[in-house]
Protein backbone atom coordinates (compact mmCIF):
# COMPACT_ATOMS: atom_id res chain seq x y z
CA UNK A 1 0.00 0.00 0.00
CA UNK A 2 1.51 3.36 -1.02
CA UNK A 3 2.22 5.71 1.82
CA UNK A 4 0.06 8.79 1.90
CA UNK A 5 1.67 12.02 2.89
CA UNK A 6 -0.10 13.56 5.84
CA UNK A 7 -1.00 17.22 5.27
CA UNK A 8 0.60 19.70 7.59
CA UNK A 9 -1.50 22.27 9.38
CA UNK A 10 -0.07 24.97 7.07
CA UNK A 11 -1.05 22.99 3.95
CA UNK A 12 -4.59 22.52 5.29
CA UNK A 13 -4.89 26.23 6.07
CA UNK A 14 -3.59 27.15 2.60
CA UNK A 15 -6.14 24.89 0.90
CA UNK A 16 -8.94 26.27 3.08
CA UNK A 17 -7.89 29.84 2.22
CA UNK A 18 -7.72 29.00 -1.49
CA UNK A 19 -11.22 27.50 -1.44
CA UNK A 20 -12.64 30.16 0.85
CA UNK A 21 -11.51 33.06 -1.35
CA UNK A 22 -11.78 31.40 -4.77
CA UNK A 23 -15.10 33.17 -5.50
CA UNK A 24 -13.48 36.56 -4.83
CA UNK A 25 -10.61 35.66 -7.12
CA UNK A 26 -12.95 34.45 -9.88
CA UNK A 27 -15.36 37.38 -9.78
CA UNK A 28 -12.62 39.97 -9.32
CA UNK A 29 -10.77 38.51 -12.29
CA UNK A 30 -13.88 38.35 -14.44
CA UNK A 31 -14.72 41.96 -13.65
CA UNK A 32 -11.15 43.11 -14.29
CA UNK A 33 -10.87 41.39 -17.66
CA UNK A 34 -14.34 42.40 -18.89
CA UNK A 35 -14.27 46.04 -17.83
CA UNK A 36 -10.72 46.66 -19.01
CA UNK A 37 -11.41 45.00 -22.35
CA UNK A 38 -14.56 47.12 -22.67
CA UNK A 39 -12.39 50.21 -22.13
CA UNK A 40 -9.97 49.02 -24.83
CA UNK A 41 -12.87 48.36 -27.22
CA UNK A 42 -14.51 51.71 -26.54
CA UNK A 43 -11.28 53.60 -27.12
CA UNK A 44 -10.61 51.76 -30.37
CA UNK A 45 -14.22 52.21 -31.43
CA UNK A 46 -13.60 55.94 -31.11
CA UNK A 47 -10.41 55.53 -33.18
CA UNK A 48 -8.23 56.92 -30.42
CA UNK A 49 -4.55 56.15 -29.94
CA UNK A 50 -2.82 53.35 -28.06
CA UNK A 51 -1.69 55.91 -25.49
CA UNK A 52 -5.34 56.53 -24.67
CA UNK A 53 -5.89 52.76 -24.41
CA UNK A 54 -3.06 52.47 -21.91
CA UNK A 55 -4.06 55.56 -19.95
CA UNK A 56 -7.70 54.57 -19.60
CA UNK A 57 -6.82 50.89 -19.20
CA UNK A 58 -4.54 51.55 -16.23
CA UNK A 59 -6.98 54.09 -14.78
CA UNK A 60 -9.69 51.43 -14.97
CA UNK A 61 -7.51 48.75 -13.39
CA UNK A 62 -6.61 50.90 -10.40
CA UNK A 63 -9.80 52.91 -9.86
CA UNK A 64 -12.36 50.21 -10.69
CA UNK A 65 -10.24 47.56 -8.96
CA UNK A 66 -10.11 49.72 -5.83
CA UNK A 67 -13.83 50.43 -6.02
CA UNK A 68 -14.63 46.74 -6.43
CA UNK A 69 -12.43 45.81 -3.48
CA UNK A 70 -13.91 48.50 -1.22
CA UNK A 71 -17.46 47.54 -2.18
CA UNK A 72 -16.63 43.91 -1.41
CA UNK A 73 -15.12 44.88 1.94
CA UNK A 74 -18.21 46.79 3.05
CA UNK A 75 -20.56 44.14 1.68
CA UNK A 76 -18.90 41.34 3.69
CA UNK A 77 -18.47 43.58 6.75
CA UNK A 78 -22.18 44.45 6.68
CA UNK A 79 -23.17 40.83 6.17
CA UNK A 80 -20.98 39.74 9.09
CA UNK A 81 -22.53 42.43 11.32
CA UNK A 82 -26.05 41.53 10.21
CA UNK A 83 -25.75 37.82 10.91
CA UNK A 84 -23.32 38.28 13.82
CA UNK A 85 -20.69 35.95 12.33
CA UNK A 86 -17.20 36.24 11.01
CA UNK A 87 -17.66 33.87 8.07
CA UNK A 88 -15.11 35.67 5.93
CA UNK A 89 -12.56 38.31 6.78
CA UNK A 90 -13.64 41.35 4.73
CA UNK A 91 -10.13 42.78 4.29
CA UNK A 92 -8.68 39.49 3.02
CA UNK A 93 -11.51 39.08 0.52
CA UNK A 94 -11.09 42.67 -0.67
CA UNK A 95 -7.34 42.17 -1.17
CA UNK A 96 -7.93 38.97 -3.13
CA UNK A 97 -10.55 40.70 -5.27
CA UNK A 98 -8.29 43.69 -6.02
CA UNK A 99 -5.30 41.44 -6.79
CA UNK A 100 -7.41 39.32 -9.14
CA UNK A 101 -8.99 42.38 -10.78
CA UNK A 102 -5.52 43.87 -11.30
CA UNK A 103 -3.95 40.72 -12.76
CA UNK A 104 -6.82 39.89 -15.09
CA UNK A 105 -7.31 43.57 -15.96
CA UNK A 106 -3.74 43.71 -17.27
CA UNK A 107 -4.45 41.03 -19.87
CA UNK A 108 -6.52 43.20 -22.26
CA UNK A 109 -3.81 45.88 -22.32
CA UNK A 110 -0.83 43.53 -22.32
CA UNK A 111 -0.34 43.69 -26.09
CA UNK A 112 -0.48 47.51 -25.93
CA UNK A 113 2.15 47.51 -23.16
CA UNK A 114 4.42 45.18 -25.14
CA UNK A 115 3.97 47.24 -28.31
CA UNK A 116 4.89 50.43 -26.43
CA UNK A 117 7.96 48.88 -24.82
CA UNK A 118 9.35 47.00 -27.83
CA UNK A 119 8.14 49.28 -30.63
CA UNK A 120 7.76 46.10 -32.68
CA UNK A 121 5.70 47.05 -35.77
CA UNK A 122 4.10 43.59 -36.06
CA UNK A 123 2.81 43.79 -32.50
CA UNK A 124 1.80 47.45 -32.89
CA UNK A 125 -0.25 46.67 -36.01
CA UNK A 126 -2.04 43.76 -34.32
CA UNK A 127 -2.42 45.04 -30.76
CA UNK A 128 -6.18 44.74 -30.75
CA UNK A 129 -6.13 41.23 -32.27
CA UNK A 130 -3.72 40.08 -29.57
CA UNK A 131 -5.85 41.79 -26.95
CA UNK A 132 -8.96 39.96 -28.22
CA UNK A 133 -7.16 36.59 -28.19
CA UNK A 134 -5.55 37.03 -24.77
CA UNK A 135 -8.71 38.41 -23.18
CA UNK A 136 -10.82 35.65 -24.73
CA UNK A 137 -8.48 33.03 -23.30
CA UNK A 138 -8.51 34.72 -19.90
CA UNK A 139 -12.32 34.86 -19.87
CA UNK A 140 -12.56 31.17 -20.78
CA UNK A 141 -10.19 30.28 -17.92
CA UNK A 142 -12.02 32.49 -15.42
CA UNK A 143 -15.37 31.13 -16.62
CA UNK A 144 -14.06 27.60 -16.14
CA UNK A 145 -13.19 28.42 -12.53
CA UNK A 146 -16.55 30.11 -12.07
CA UNK A 147 -18.14 26.78 -13.00
CA UNK A 148 -15.94 25.16 -10.37
CA UNK A 149 -17.02 27.67 -7.71
CA UNK A 150 -20.74 27.57 -8.53
CA UNK A 151 -20.97 23.87 -9.33
CA UNK A 152 -22.18 24.61 -12.87
CA UNK A 153 -20.91 22.84 -15.95
CA UNK A 154 -17.43 24.30 -16.49
CA UNK A 155 -17.55 24.42 -20.30
CA UNK A 156 -20.96 26.10 -20.24
CA UNK A 157 -19.74 28.58 -17.63
CA UNK A 158 -16.61 29.34 -19.69
CA UNK A 159 -18.69 29.93 -22.83
CA UNK A 160 -21.13 32.15 -20.91
CA UNK A 161 -18.29 34.27 -19.48
CA UNK A 162 -16.74 34.64 -22.94
CA UNK A 163 -20.12 35.67 -24.36
CA UNK A 164 -20.72 38.25 -21.62
CA UNK A 165 -17.24 39.72 -22.13
CA UNK A 166 -17.80 39.81 -25.89
CA UNK A 167 -21.14 41.57 -25.55
CA UNK A 168 -19.63 44.16 -23.18
CA UNK A 169 -16.78 44.78 -25.65
CA UNK A 170 -19.15 45.15 -28.62
CA UNK A 171 -21.34 47.59 -26.68
CA UNK A 172 -18.30 49.64 -25.67
CA UNK A 173 -16.97 49.65 -29.24
CA UNK A 174 -20.35 50.83 -30.60
CA UNK A 175 -20.60 53.58 -27.98
CA UNK A 176 -17.03 54.70 -28.73
CA UNK A 177 -17.75 54.77 -32.45
CA UNK A 178 -21.08 56.60 -31.95
CA UNK A 179 -19.56 59.27 -29.71
CA UNK A 180 -16.64 59.83 -32.09
CA UNK A 181 -19.02 60.21 -35.05
CA UNK A 182 -21.26 62.51 -33.02
CA UNK A 183 -18.37 64.79 -32.09
CA UNK A 184 -16.55 64.69 -35.44
Please state, in angstroms and rounded to a whole number, the distance separating the CA atoms of residues 77 and 81: 6
Nearest to 176 by CA among 38, 60, 46: 46
23/97: higher pLDDT: 97
| Predicted model pTM | 0.86
Nearest to 34 by CA among 57, 59, 66: 57
Residues in contact with 94: Cβ distance below 8 Å, sequence separation at least 6, in sequence order: 24, 69, 70, 72, 73, 76
**Mean pLDDT of the chain, nearest integer:** 91
Banded model confidence at residue 149, pLDDT cuts 50, 70, 90:
confident
Please state, in angstroms and rounded to a whole number, the distance separating the CA atoms of residues 134 and 109: 9
Model confidence pLDDT, tens digit, residues 70-122: 999 999 999 888 888 777 789 999 999 999 999 999 999 999 999 999 988 99
Whether the Cβ atoms of residue 61 and residue 106 lie closer than 8 Å to each other: yes
Model confidence pLDDT, tens digit, residues 118-143: 988 999 999 999 999 999 999 999 99
Q: What is the per-residue pLDDT for 2?
A: 53
Please state, in angstroms and rounded to a whole number, the distance separating the CA atoms of residues 81 and 165: 34
For the chain, the first-to-last Cα distance in angstroms comes to 76
Banded model confidence at residue 17, pLDDT cuts 50, 70, 90:
low
Please state, in angstroms and rounded to a whole number, the distance separating the CA atoms of residues 183 and 173: 15
Nearest to 150 by CA among 10, 22, 18, 40: 22
Angle at 146 (CA atoms; ends 92, 65), nearest 5 degrees: 45
Q: What is the per-residue pLDDT for 144?
A: 93
Amino acid sequence: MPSQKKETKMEKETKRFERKYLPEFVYGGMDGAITTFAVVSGVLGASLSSIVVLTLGFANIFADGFSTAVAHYFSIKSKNELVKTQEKHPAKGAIVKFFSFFLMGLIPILSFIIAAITTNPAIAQNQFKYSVLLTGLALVIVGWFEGEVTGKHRVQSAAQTLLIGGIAAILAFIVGRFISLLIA
